[in-house]
Homo-oligomer: A and B are copies of this chain.
Amino acid sequence: MPGDRLALPPDGRQSETALTIARGVRRLLRARGFSSLTELPLVDGRRADIVAVNGEGEVLIVEIKSSAADLRADRKWRDYLAACDRLYFAISAATPAAIMPAEAGLILADAYGAEVLREADPRRMASATRRAVLLRFAQAAADRLHRLADPSGGFDV
């Protein structure tokens, strides 16, 4: 086992643009002390694009919008407001910032980094929700690492 080199499988669910934005956003989050996880199932089977947690247990969600059409197609983004302390959208320079809803923060990203164009209004999530999201985050991250280390270790999803 020590010599094994195991692989993260490619994720076919996201566009190249979305993956590029995610990379830059996660670098920014990391620089601010937040550990981030992609594609975390949270509400009604929907997956949050990026969920991030810092050492104080603050929870951010970042929803990636790779185009104006991507925003228009999403009628349920407000569902995430209650599942985090701050909600952001993240876009590339190809998407006009002016169309993004003012109820969420806004991050501009490329593949190398990102900046916050508008801070999100902090709203402290309910403590039972925080506990549930943190557990889900912890278990999902650990399970993904476990699956990489031992693909036949009992994973059926």
Contacts and interface: CB of A to CB of B under 8 A. Distances in A.
Interface in A26-66: 26-27, 30-31, 35-38, 53-55, 57
A38 B145 CA distance: 10
Interface stretch (A11-19, A70-78, A88-96): A11-19
B6 A19 contact: no
A138 B39 CA distance: 15
Contacts of A154: 27, 30-31
Given A134-B135, A135-B57, A143 B35 contact: yes
A146 B50 CA distance: 11
A115 B74 CA distance: 47
Contacts of A2: 10-12, 14, 16, 19
28 contacts: A1-B20, A1-B23, A2-B10, A2-B11, A4-B8, A4-B10, A5-B8, A7-B7, A8-B145, A26-B146, A26-B149, A26-B150, A26-B153, A27-B154, A30-B153, A30-B154, A31-B154, A35-B140, A36-B142, A37-B142, A53-B138, A53-B139, A55-B139, A137-B138, A137-B142, A138-B138, A141-B141, A141-B142
